[in-house]
Amino acid sequence: MALGFYTLKGCFMSIIKSALGRDEIREIDRKAIEEYEIPGIILMENAGRNVAEEVLKMLPETDKARVAIFCGKGNNGGDGFVIARHLYNKGVGVSVYLTTAVSSVLSDGDASTNLKILLNMNLEIKELQEGHIGEIGKALHGYNVIVDAIFGTGLRGEVKEPVRTLLAKINETDIPVVSVDIPSGLSCDDGVVLGTAVKATKTITFVAAKTGFFKECGKEYTGELIVSDISVPKELIKFT
């Protein structure tokens, strides 16, 4: 079972009032890991599992379903690796696309651990090459759901190529897109599109809604918003 979800339905104003910015979210993460001694990989596991459970609700028969998961280098990509594992274990056909080299993720950190697990499971990890964007765009039409786990709340500068074109290709499809924590390319604090951004069908965000979801282009790009409980101590959120 998921650790917990709540959506905008019926509690719109409460979610807006509890929305947090990038620095506040980072401080909660820091305190959870350093002061409460919750390993970051546990938070990543909870986040990825919760998203996977939400994706499963959107699929037809799991053994006939296909999901494309686009992962970046950081913790957002690490969430994507966890999602891939859980969906694969449920019988879903999973394709994992990495927007950087495998070697750059394997250096260290929680994302590295979860990528190694996928490699040990013999799941193919496809490194994104600029010349392959057109082919990927065509291939996307064979999937039931696209998972966007490329950029998280830490993104500040404009999205660069080849990811910029990739996001445009994702937006050109009519396939449901689930963004992990925040749509890639959307500014966490002010809702500005950083050159280009994923237009999510559904955004599953962690701990609290982000302030950018309710500013500028935030609502247009976030889609249905689901706030997911990843077992951060409630005291940290209450007193932020």
What pLDDT score was predicted for residue 131?
A: 66
| φ/ψ (deg, to 5) at 94 | -115, 135
At residue 224, φ and ψ (nearest 5 deg) are -65, 130
Query: Model confidence at 4, in pLDDT bands (50, 70, 90)?
Result: very low
Task: Using pLDDT thresholds of 50, 70 and 90, give the confidence band for residue 223.
Answer: very high
Confidence band for 65, pLDDT divided at 50, 70 and 90: very high
**Contact by Cβ (8 Å): 32, 43:** yes
Q: Please check the confidence at residue 9 and state whether its pLDDT lies above 50.
A: no
Q: How many CA atoms lie within 13 A of 15 on its CB side?
A: 22
Per-residue pLDDT, averaged over 65-93, amounts to 97
Locate all alpha helices (DSSP H) within 35-145, ordered by sequence. Answer: 40-57, 75-89, 102-105, 110-120, 133-139
What is the C-alpha to C-alpha distance for residues 188 and 92, in angstroms, rounded to an integer? 31
pLDDT at 130: 65
Per the structure block, which two tokens stand in for 211?
Answer: 């302030």
Domains in the chain, CATH or no CATH each: 5-232 (3.40.50.10260)
For range 94-123, the mean pLDDT: 95
First to last CA, the chain: 27
Q: Which bin fits 74, alpha (ψ -120 to 50), beta or left (φ > 0)? A: beta
Q: Residue 7 is which amino acid?
A: T
Cα–Cα dist 224/208, whole Å: 14
Residue 6, pLDDT score = 42
pLDDT digits (tens, 9 = 90+) for 158-186: 999 999 999 999 999 999 999 999 999 99
Distance CA 105, CA 83 (A): 17
Interhelix angle 40-57/22-34, nearest 10 degrees: 120
**What pLDDT is recorded for position 47?**
98
pLDDT on residue 24 = 95
Binning pLDDT at 50, 70 and 90, where does residue 61 land?
confident
User: What beta strand segments (E) does 120-191 contain?
Assistant: 125-127, 145-149, 177-180
Task: Give the whole-angstrom CA distance, residue 192 versus residue 7.
Answer: 22
Task: Provide φ and ψ at 73, rounded to 5°.
Answer: -80, -30
Kindly state the greatest CA–CA separation across the chain: 48
pLDDT bucket at 107, cuts 50 / 70 / 90: confident
pLDDT in the model for residue 128: 86
- pLDDT score recorded for residue 239: 52
pLDDT tops 60 at residue 149: yes
Confidence of residue 18 (pLDDT cuts 50, 70, 90): confident
Cα separation of 103 and 95, whole Å? 18
pTM above 0.85, yes or no: yes
